[in-house]
Amino acid sequence: MSRPSRPRRSELATPASNEWMFAKAAASDADLVFLDLEDACAPAEREAARGKAAKALRELDWGRTLRAIRMNAIDTRWAYGDVIETVTEAREALDVIIVPKVRHARDVWWVDTLLTQLEETLGLTERIALEVLIEETEGLENVGEIVRASDRLQAVIFGAGDFSASQGARVDTNFDPVVDYPGDMWHYARARVVVAARSAGIDAIDAPFPNFRDPEAYRIASERAAAMGYVGKWAIHPSQVEIANSAFAPTKYEIEHARRVVAAYREAEATGRGATSVDGMLVDAAHLRHAETVTRTAELVNRTAELVKGKAVAG
């Protein structure tokens, strides 16, 4: 399976037991929507929610949005049924499975192996991708091995909620410290996750932001995560999707500047120089790498925009 070739600026969570939310999620313009079989479902509803999720994945118009589920953790009694029943019913309508509370590389291997057997049995032509949640201290300790556990793996997500409980942190319901704390309390965890993701060639997705009634705070959190190298953030409400889509896309200025940097460097290279300047600032090979990252991200976003435009024309 190839590494990520689709943007993941916004990943919208939707309870798999709440059928009335499905259509709104499908129309949200999120890069990915996952129907949640885990924390968003009451334990008594989790088995029945599998069929509801599979039906929605098959029958609704998701446009260019990646279709996903979040299964239950592999150490629960629901895990194998989440994979077997949902894949069997959804088939090619399921693009991604999100695996929560991953502690070891073997957790990812377990899901990968089960999926391989299912795909062969069902005759599926497209492999289902995986994303993993780092929300346990043990998972953070082993994140370097986890991100290399399967070639299905396309993204790793920092889950601040369960992670704060695992660490024994004193936080409020938005996972912010209950006392005055200098800087980002989760900076170490965020940095470790994004470094692991980048080293493995996969995407890093930032934690959810429960206070959906404060869009400005969500925007700031998204922009700070983007500055660190995260490519997207979870949304727990459709109103957060547009904010994330904007925050994790290069601005017009960034794109134009990146193109100027590339052009200036290539011109210098052609004349035998290893560096040049743009707007009075040094430009060398390191700046070229950064500029190419910006332009590559812009291309992903533009391809997404073309998909949306094509859907609108077809409609």
Average pLDDT value over all residues in the chain: 90
This prediction's pTM: 0.88
Integer CA distances (angstroms), 200 to 177, 188, 291, in order: 31, 19, 20
Instruction: Give the separation between CA 157 and CA 100, rounded to whole angstroms.
Output: 9
pLDDT at 305: 54
Residue from 233, 232, 237, 234 nearest 212 by CA: 237
pLDDT at 202: 97
pLDDT at 304: 57
pLDDT at 1: 56
Please, are residues 277 and 284 in contact by the beta-carbon 8 Å criterion? no
* 249 secondary structure, DSSP code: S
Residue from 1, 7, 3, 33 nearest 18 by CA: 33
pLDDT at 273: 77
Residue with tokens 């795909």: 119
Q: What is the pLDDT of residues 137-187, one digit of tens each?
A: 999 999 999 999 999 999 999 999 999 999 999 999 999 999 999 999 999
Integer CA distances (angstroms), 92 to 59, 100, 109, 177, 214, in order: 12, 22, 21, 42, 37
pLDDT band at 307 (very low <50, low <70, confident <90, very high): very low
pLDDT at 142: 98
Task: State mean pLDDT over 273-280.
Answer: 75
Task: State mean pLDDT over 276-284.
Answer: 75
Alpha carbon dihedral 268, 270, 272, 277, in 10-degree steps, equals 0
Q: What is the pLDDT of residues 35-60, one digit of tens each?
A: 999 999 999 999 999 999 999 999 99
Residue from 254, 256, 184 nearest 225 by CA: 184
Please, are residues 238 and 29 in contact by the beta-carbon 8 Å criterion? no
Residue from 170, 169, 186 nearest 178 by CA: 170
Instruction: Give the separation between CA 57 and CA 93, rounded to whole angstroms.
Output: 6
On the question of pLDDT at 249 being above 80, the answer is yes
pLDDT at 128: 97
